Amino acid sequence: MRSIIATSALALAIAVPGLAAAQELKFSAGATLASQYVADGIKQTKGIAFQPWVEGEVGGFYFGAWMSNTDKAIVGSSSEIDLYAGYRGEVGMFSYDVGYTRYYYQNPKNDCCGDIIVQLGLAPTDKLSLGTKVKYNPSKTTNPTKAYNLSISADYALTDKFSMGAVYGKVTKGGMKYWSVGGSYAINDALSLGLSWNDTDTTKGVAVLAVDYAFSFK
């Protein structure tokens, strides 16, 4: 799957007339060091998580990989690798992102499942941004109830360096509700610190402290 996503995106840049010439293939990468790995309010580790990633983009099309250690006692695996691809763009104050993410774990099956992800955003001001996200796993085996994961978010930049945000989500078909609230501080263009509180209606909440580093290259 790694080679399929990367090769397809590069082939697209070459095959579409003028796309590669008009839009440069750009790459970005980085890593997060977090006190815990939490996904939709659910802990995936009992302690520190290291999460490197890399992404390529050309003309709105993107592809990438994200990795993290996990706790085998919690998720049945000691690591997770997410491979993803999609298309995103902006029209005035509106933004959109349509993609697919495949999840891989270190277990006998390895290839777990995948989500179709659609995101819509609205930025009414330079400081405020609102968003909504829909995740759907089309597999009847890993999603027999045909449940959707729906969430809304809001982010506000208090200053050029400090911002705050909140997320509220729900899994349909009798699923859980989850939410988070937190803030981040940009030390510079590449390095930032974040602190968030993550909770659900079925588990105990957990605070997560994270350090993020990101850079871009061609």
- Are 114 and 101 in contact by the 8 Å Cβ rule? The answer is yes
CA gap 6, 4 in Å, rounded: 6
Coil, strand or helix at 147: coil
Query: All domains of the chain, ordered by start, with CATH?
Result: 2-217 (2.40.160.40)
Alpha carbons within 13 A on the beta-carbon side of 204: 2
Beta bridge partners of 54: 29, 65
pTM: 0.87
What number is the average pLDDT over the span 123-141?
A: 96
The residue whose two tokens read 């969430």 is 151
pLDDT for the residue 18: 52
C-alpha radius of gyration, the chain, whole number: 18
Q: Provide the percentage of residues in the chain whose pLDDT is more than 70.
A: 89
pLDDT at 5 over 80: no
* Confidence tier at 104 by pLDDT (50, 70, 90): very high
pLDDT at 136 over 90: yes
Output phi, psi for 28, to 5 deg: -140, 155
Per-residue pLDDT reduced to its tens digit, 58-92: 999 999 999 999 999 888 899 999 999 999 999 99
CA gap 70, 104 in Å, rounded: 12
DSSP designation for 124: S
